[in-house]
Each structure stands twice: as C-alpha cells, then as structure tokens.
Amino acid sequence: MDWPRVRAVWKRVISLAWPVMAEQTFRTLMRTVDIVITATFNPASVVAIGLADLYARLPLRIGLGLGGGTIALSSQDSGAAADANRDEAITQGILLGALLGIPFVLFGFFLSESAIRVFGAGQNVENLGRVVRLGSTYLAIIFATAPARHVALIAARALQGTGDTRTPMYVNVVANAMNILGSLALGLGFAPLGIPRLKIVGVGLATAGANVFTAAMLCLAIWTDWSDASFSLPKDWIIAKQLVVVSTPKVAEGFASTAAEFPFNAILLGFGQPVNAGFQIGRRMYQQVTGPLSRGYNVAASVVVGQRLGEGDADGARFEGWAVAGLGLLTVGGVGVGLVFVADAFVSLFTSNPATVGYAVAFAQVYGVCGAALVVFSVLSGGLQGASETRIPLVARTSGVFGLQLGLTYLLGVVLGWGATGAYVGIAATYVWMALIVAAGFHFTGWAGRAAEMMEERGSDASTW
C-alpha cells in the first residue's frame, strides 16, 4: 500500500468534500427541523410529510440524474481543459432540467390528493382523511417549484465537476438557513411580526422559497465571472446525447428506488402508523448524522475519477476511487457503529410518542449497522458516475430495492408474520448487496475505456489514451 499516495488523495478528497458535507449538513438539518416542527402538530402530520416526500423525490431523482450526467462531463472536460464542451454540457443540462420540472407542477395541482390517498387503499389506516389532506397540500406547494429544484441540483453538480465545491456550499447554506427560519416562523407562527401559525403549509412554503433562491443564485454564479464555468449557446447534439445516455440510468436508478418505497411504505403502514412514523424518524436521524459525509465522498469520487480520466490517467482514476472508499469506511462506518449505541438519545429529540420511539430506535440502529455498506456503495457509485458509467449502480440499486428491501420485507414481514423485524432484515440485506455489486463493477469492468470513447466522440482531448 502506497500510504503517501493514499494520504495525498485523502487530502485532496477532504478539500473537495468538506464544502459538500457542510452543504448537506444544512440540507439534512433543514429536513430534520421540518420533521421536528411537524411532529409538534400531530403524528398524522409526520406521516403526511413523509408520504409527500416520497413523491417529492421524483423531481429530486431527475435533478440528481441530470446532475450526475453533468458532473461526469464537467469533470472529464475540466481535466482535459476542454472548456467549451464543459460549458455547453452545463448549459444543456440546466435547460433540460428546467423543462422536465414543468410536469411536476401540473401533477401537484391536479393529482396530489389522489397520490397521497393511494397509500391507504384497502387498509385501515388511522386518520387517513387527515393524512391525505395534509400531505396533498404540502406536496402541491413543493411541486410548484420543481423546475427550480432541478436547476439548483444540476447547477450545483456542474460547478462541483469543475472542482468548485465551495460556491454551491455558500448558496445552499444560506438557502437552507432561510428555509429553517422560514419553517420555524411560518410553521409555528411568530406573533410579534404578525406571522400566523400555518403548520404544514408554512413548512412547505419555506422549502419552496429556498428552492427558488438556490436556483437563481447558482445560475447567477455561472453567468457571472464568479466561477470558471459559463453558459454557452447549445448547438452540439453529441453532447446532448451523451448527457441523456449518462443521466438516464441515474434517473432510472432513482425512480426504481422511489417506486419500491411506495409499496414498502404501504407495508409499513399495514404494520401500524407508529411503525411507519418510526421508519421516517429513524432514517432521517441516520441521514442527519452520516448523509453529509457520504454525499461529500460521492461528489469527491466523481470529481477525482472524472478529472483523472480527462487527463488520460486511468490507473490513477482507479486508485483514487478505491482510496476514497477506504476513507469512507473509516469515517462513515465508524460513525454508523457509534449511532447504534446512542440511537435512544437521538430519537428522543424527534418524538416522545411511546408507540413510535421503539420502532424509530430500531430503524436507526439498522441504518447505523449498514453504514459501511452504504458508504461503499455511495463512493464507488460516484466514481463510476465520474467515468460516465451509471448502469452498474442502476443494476445494484434496482435489484436491491425490489428483490430485498421490498421482496424480502414482504416475505418475512407479511407472509411469515415477522412484522417490523422483516423490514429491519430487508433493509440491511439491501445495502450489503448494493455495495457488493458496485465494488465488483468498479474492479472488473472497463469503465475507463468507455469514458475515453465518449470524450473522443464529443471532441474533448483524449489523445493521451
């Protein structure tokens, strides 16, 4: 093991990852504050916002998918000093994201109530009418800013691909701070300023406002001299084609994960509302603690692997991808183990409902145990993404969430009568499987050659291959 080289990679990765971690910390803190505020209303509100967030992940998946394609081309072309191609890829990605957000606006206005009600179909769900009313209102507000959400996600990934992870951090930290303050003021009310207590509507309005602010500020950074990237008149259909080719599996991966969670949440609701609420809280707690680290390493892996490939150094790209995975195992894996022992204390910050606490602690501990597998999947998926190879993570996640998270949970929890324990086993098996698949893909497949061919096709400098 070349430890000086490993340490050099870790140093660069940390410099790239810490702004992403800070940004993600504020993002997950904002979502955590939303849950905490919502929990002060009633359990039905917690379930409502959790179910609405399942649909809200659809524009998130598209934004992250297109962002994945954009960061791949942006990082490779930055490494190859092909600035014109990079700028056009960034522009095309942002425009496509804005257009794909429009259908969600229409969905939110016309179909949000039916979308929430489907979870309780055929089941005796407590307070179903109230959950539907609250969840559909929140969903309509969030979907109204889906185009802005897409633009914000893609613009952030575009800048990160150039090596600038700080500008997205600056913008998102401010936006999420505004969101937190807005949720507190609008959700709980603030009498001295005459702000009414809008409850879940106020939480939704705060999130929607932050989405618009983030998109506007990141586009301004690209349009001005603040960043190295710039907007460019779209004219190269090869770049557009490659964006779609790289992004489509990433979008499909996200959709598969979200699609599996619909019946998964329905199964949990069948076990009882406290089980579903416990799942929402336990997962949120895990994401708050480890999500920023995993997201930071994921982005850093995409950048270092993509830029090394742009420079023509396939061996360096492979080495650095594994080095980032090792760093993730040491940090995120360790934090996950620690979370197992302090889950009770953390859960008490979210809820004191005795029927919910036990399930929330158990779900949080399951996610903590799986921390090592989760970060390996996140890092190596990021590395493959930087190489324009997004098909392997698609296979890993799709087979995992349908075959294990959903299928195994149904078998154990419903057919065999294990209840929530079946969900614990299904979740753990899912993430171990996903980590094994992407590790094998990163080690054995020819992703470096694929990246070189795509760079040559779009006219970026790949002469060193």
Which structure tokens are listed for 101? Answer: 């957000």
Measuring CA to CA, which residue among 130, 147, 105 is closest to residue 49? 130
Q: Which residue has the tokens 């969840």?
A: 135
B/e letters for 49-59, b = 16+ CB within 10 Å, e = fewer, are: bbbbbbbbbbb
Give CA–CA dist 338/336, Å, rounded: 5
pLDDT of residue 31: 77
> Please, is 75 exposed, middle or buried when counting C-beta atoms within 10 Å of its C-beta (0-12, 13-18, 19+)?
buried
Q: Who's near 249: CB < 8 A, 6+ residues apart?
A: 390, 391, 393, 394
Alpha helices by DSSP H, listed for 348-446, are 354-369, 371-386, 391-400, 407-409, 420-444
pLDDT of residue 266: 86
Q: Which residue has the tokens 């349908």?
A: 402
List of the chain residues with pLDDT < 70:
1, 120-127, 461-465
DSSP 370-385: THHHHHHHHHHHHHHH
pLDDT of residue 130: 80
For 216-272, what is each residue's pLDDT tens digit?
A: 999 999 999 898 899 998 888 999 999 999 999 999 998 898 788 889 988 998 888
Measuring CA to CA, which residue among 376, 261, 278 is closest to residue 326? 376
Q: Who's near 146: CB < 8 A, 6+ residues apart?
A: 59, 101, 102, 104, 105, 108
Strand, helix or coil for residue 150: helix
Residue 176: HSE in the Cβ half-sphere, 13 Å Cα cutoff? 20
Give CA–CA dist 143/103, Å, rounded: 9
pLDDT of residue 108: 93
CB 46 within 8 A of CB 39: yes
pLDDT of residue 95: 95
pLDDT of residue 252: 94
pLDDT of residue 126: 58
Kindly compute the dihedral angle of the four CA atoms of residues 413, 418, 419, 424, in this order, to the nearest 10 degrees.
-80
pTM of the model: 0.85
Structural element, H or E, at residue 8: helix 3-39
pLDDT of residue 375: 95
